[in-house]
Copies of this chain bind each other. A is one copy, B any other.
C-alpha cells in the first residue's frame, strides 16, 4: 500500500464545492471517479479542507492510499486525461503512509479578488467579485492588520461553524493592487467556515466608509458574527496553496481535533 499526495487546481464555477455530497457535481467525486477508471479501486480521497460551491483552487492538496504500482511521475498525466477541463492535477508525490493532507497541513493561503473596473473584465468574471464603486484601500489595509496573529475568530466565522473553538493564527495578510483588480492574500494555520469571506465582506464595509479600520479589531474582540459584515461572494475566493513544511509527520493545526466538520472556506 502507498500513500500519494496530489496538488490540484480547479475552476470552482461548475462545482457544488470540493467535498462529495448527495447533490451536485463535486471536485472530490470527479477525482475519485478518475482514480477508479485508472486503477479500478474504489478510493476515498482526503482533501486538505473543503471549499464551498463556486470557490476555486490553484493549489488544493489531497492524498489517498492505493495498491496501484503506477509510477509516481505518471499519476498527474494519467488522471488529467480522465478529468474534465475544469480540474487540472499539477503534481503527485509518494508521501509517508501517515501523511494526512488535512491534519498534516501547516499553512494555508487564500486569495480574495475584486474587479475594480467600471464594467467587469469578462475573462476574469468567474474569479473576481465586481465592485465598481470607490474603495478606500488604505483603510482596508489598516483594518486587515488587526487580524494578524492568534485570535478567536468567532466574529468572522459562519454561525454554522461546528468547531469546538474558533482560535486560529493568521501569519500574514496583505493587499496587492494590480491594474483593475485588488487581491487580498491571507495565510494562516487553518481557516474556519466562511472565515475569509466574512473578513472580506467586513473589509468592504471599511473600504466603503461604513466602518473604520479599528472596527476590525473591535469586532474581533466582540466574538459575535452579528458584529461583522456580510459574507463576500464565493466566486472571488481561491485557495492558493497548502504548505506542509517538507511533508513531515503531522503536527496538528489548531483545527485538527474535529473530524466531524473540518470545513474550510467557502
Residues of A within 8 A of B (CB): 9-11, 56, 58, 76-77, 80, 85-90, 119-123, 125, 127
B127 touches A88 (CB 8 A): no
Bound complex: CA A240 to CA B119 (Å): 17
B87 touches A122 (CB 8 A): yes
Bound complex: CA A56 to CA B184 (Å): 28
Report how many copies the assembly holds: 2
Bound complex: CA A125 to CA B88 (Å): 10
Interchain residue pairs with CB less than 8 A apart (14)? A9-B121, A9-B123, A11-B122, A11-B123, A11-B125, A58-B123, A76-B119, A77-B119, A85-B122, A85-B125, A86-B122, A88-B119, A88-B120, A88-B122
- A121 contact set on B, CB distance < 8 A: 9, 88
- Chain B's nearest CB lies how many Å from the CB of A118? 8
- Chain B's nearest CB lies how many Å from the CB of A56? 7
- A87 contact set on B, CB distance < 8 A: 122
- A123 contact set on B, CB distance < 8 A: 9, 11, 56, 58, 127
- A80 contact set on B, CB distance < 8 A: 119
- Chain B's nearest CB lies how many Å from the CB of A78? 12
* Chain B residue nearest to A76 in the complex (CB): B119
Bound complex: CA A80 to CA B130 (Å): 13
Bound complex: CA A89 to CA B120 (Å): 9
- A89 contact set on B, CB distance < 8 A: 119
Q: Which of A86, A119, A120, A121 has the most CB of B within 10 A?
A: A119
* Chain B residue nearest to A10 in the complex (CB): B122
Q: Which of A58, A77, A122 has the most CB of B within 10 A?
A: A122
Bound complex: CA A119 to CA B89 (Å): 8
- A88 contact set on B, CB distance < 8 A: 119-122, 125
- Chain B's nearest CB lies how many Å from the CB of A55? 13
Bound complex: CA A146 to CA B76 (Å): 40
Report the 9 A-B pairs with minimum CB-CB distance, sorted nearest first.
A88-B122, A9-B122, A88-B119, A11-B122, A90-B119, A88-B120, A85-B125, A11-B123, A10-B122
- Contacts A88-B125, A123-B127 known; 19 new A-B pairs at CB < 8 A: A9-B121, A9-B123, A10-B122, A11-B123, A11-B125, A56-B123, A58-B123, A76-B119, A77-B119, A80-B119, A85-B122, A85-B125, A87-B122, A88-B119, A88-B120, A88-B121, A88-B122, A89-B119, A90-B119
Bound complex: CA A89 to CA B119 (Å): 8
- Chain B's nearest CB lies how many Å from the CB of A11? 5
